[in-house]
Amino acid sequence: MHRVEPIRDPRKVAAIKKMLRGEKSLRDYVLFVIGINTALRIGDLLALSVGDVLDREGAVARFLEVREHKTGRHARVYLNDNVRSALGEYFDREPVTNPDLPLFRSVRSNQPIDRTRAWRLINTWCRAVGLTNARYGAHTLRKTWGYMARKVHGIPIELIQAKLGHATPAVTKRYLGITDEEITDVEKRVLL
């Protein structure tokens, strides 16, 4: 398995969202938006059913209850306004009455898309907006959340570590791909 990178440029994130939102099917847009906003692993994303994101009244839920496949731990994940808006738009355009259907269905079947398909999609999206200088793949969405939380929003590494379920801050730093250039930049800015 090759190491993949987060999307480090907020403008590239916006470009992918704009590109996918203009597509005939909003499935890929919703996959991207949920992936970068929840930091769920790709396996947990692809396992979501329609009923997982709707409340008892059929409206988009505020929280998502997930049993993480890799760790087995229960996670309660907040669905922020961007996720809720994307899901609302998706269900308005493609109404679904069966809560047991996979949220990210294959166009050829009612089965969920698989990890390989997700990897191909994410690579295609990244390449389409000019991200050609690194490897991108299934973990890119989760890593993008962590990277943006730290770099753009200034969230402490310990909180990101807790969200991602990492054992130590060192694991989180390595996971997010903190580069030597970033460290040098910090060294240049901190003048005492």
70 is catalytic: yes
For the chain, give percent helix, strand, coil, nearest 5.
50, 10, 40
3 is catalytic: no
Catalytic residue among 17, 84, 142, 150: 142
Give the number of other CB atoms < 10 A from CB of residue 22: 9
Catalytic residue among 105, 139, 143, 150: 139
150 is catalytic: no
139 is catalytic: yes
Catalytic residue among 11, 70, 73, 188: 70
**DSSP states along 88-122:** HHHHHHS----TTSBSSB-SSSSSBP-HHHHHHHH
> In 3D, which of 45, 28, 1 has the Cα closest to residue 107?
28
21 is catalytic: no
Catalytic residue among 41, 84, 143, 150: 41
175 is catalytic: yes
Show which residues are catalytic.
41, 70, 139, 142, 166, 175
